[in-house]
Amino acid sequence: MPGKEREVTFEKPASRGKFVAGGVLVLVLVVVLAVAIAVPLSQRRSETTDRARRLMEEVPLVDGHNDWPWQLAKNFGNQLSQVNLGTDLRLQYTNSHTDIPRLRQGMVGAQFWAAYTPCNSQYKDTVRWTLRQIDVIERFAAKYPDTFQFVTTAQGIQDAFDAGKIGCMVGVEGGHMIDSSLAALRMLYKLGTRYMTITHSCNTPWADNWLETLNPNPEHNGLTDFGKTVIQEMNRLGMLIDLSHVSFKTMHDALDVTQAPVIFSHSSAYAICNHTRNVPDDVLRRLRDTGGVVMVNFYNDYINCGPNKTENTTIAQVADHCDYIRDVAGEDHVGLGADYDGVTRVPQGLEDVSTYPALIEELLTRGWTDDQVKKFLGLNLINVFKRAEEVSARMTMDPLDNLIPLAAIANETCRTFL
């Protein structure tokens, strides 16, 4: 037994040594394998980043909706002398999404700036507010000519991009802002407005907004006859029809009337997030047939209808909406309309205008082709813009001079009438 004990005692260290040596070998192999995997992954990420930036250098990123002008009104009274837009505005006001340095970092090629006035201005001083907001867009474009170029045509977007500048366009956010007047609509076009959102979050005397979708007794059940005339006059002018913020019935009524493709300047897919600010499948399928583009909104509440949407909305979920609209409507009918500076909650990784490249990288990792990404970035919107211009050029009729029935605006107390 003593000899046996000595034998056992002798064998244990040898066994432990083999075990340790084997463990070291395994550890070395794991490290080598990890390095072997990590290097290609890192390389692939770098390649995807480079590819995203290359595509963004080749075609302009056109965003359909940014409320920066409203932030300038709220925070600075539109007094551009009181603010330097070339600095980081997060130091000036909270929840800032936009300034010139971050626009450049995000490689923005062109932007529809929202000329917005709240619904409580309807029947009051809405036209005054509208003019004020168009004015500040034109003024900041002129004040920073090395960065911005005010444009009013599809070709102008490309011209500004070729010059290394950000094309600035006006979108009037809400049909209440024409005060039920076709004359006002025409004057806004002459001032540079190139789309009008048919409603904001209130009905006009001639169209139902998105909140009416769930109303069993909507005020107008879509567009009134005068509302359909507004659509026709927008076609004649070459002004894009924006159906973000309208009811589902208003969407269909507008699609029934319009001769030009429409846009949704800042909406997402209803099938993924069943918020009535989003676009249902039957409308997406109509876009495949009639043309148009849905420009995906980044607002958490329109992207993520699940729990914890405030904290846990991600780039991946935004990309899910992009994928879905591409698959249902087609790759020619999806774009970007982030709604920066108009919303309070945005996804992780898409905190402001500097972050667009991260979304493009996400789409590339999902297998989007270069051509699909270019369409998404801006070519789809530019194509819709061109088609609206072509429709306008073909329409030889005189300006429409229909008047809305006085009964429809009887609640307008601040008025004079003939």
Q: Is 176 considered catalytic here?
A: no
Please list, in sequence order, all residues whose beta carbon lies within 8 angstroms of the beta carbon of residue 318, skipping any fewer than 6 positions away: 296, 298, 303, 347, 350, 359, 362
Q: Which one of 63, 67, 99, 179 is the catalytic residue?
A: 67
3-state secondary structure of 3: helix
Please provide residue 179's backbone torsions phi and psi, each rounded to the nearest 5 degrees. 55, 40
Radius of gyration of the chain, Cα coordinates, nearest whole angstrom: 27
Name 5's Cβ contacts closer than 8 Å, sequence gap at least 6.
none
Which residue, chain included where needed, has tokens 């790759």? 331
Given the residues 63, 99, 339, 362, select the one marked as catalytic: 339
The catalytic residue among 173, 208, 341, 361 is: 173
Cα separation, 77 vs 100, in Å, equals 19
How far from 80 is each of 115, 136, 140, 142, 307, CA to CA, in Å? 16, 8, 7, 11, 41
Catalytic residue chosen out of the listed positions 266, 275, 321, 333: 266
Inter-residue contact 352 to 128 (CB < 8 Å): no
Annotated catalytic residue 173: yes
Active-site residue identified among 97, 245, 252, 275: 245
To the query of whether residue 266 is one of the catalytic residues in this protein, the response is: yes
Measured CA distances, 414 to 74, 244, 394 (Å): 25, 29, 39
Q: Clarify whether 327 is annotated catalytic.
A: no
CA-to-CA distance for 113 and 133, rounded, in angstroms?
10
Catalytic status, residue 351 = no
Which of 97, 200, 220, 333 is labelled catalytic? 200
Task: Read off the tokens for 342.
Answer: 């108009």
Q: Tell me which of 65, 97, 252, 333 is the catalytic residue.
A: 65
Asked if residues 283 and 294 have their Cβ atoms less than 8 Å apart, the reply is no
Strand partners, 28: none
Active site residues: 65, 67, 173, 200, 245, 266, 339
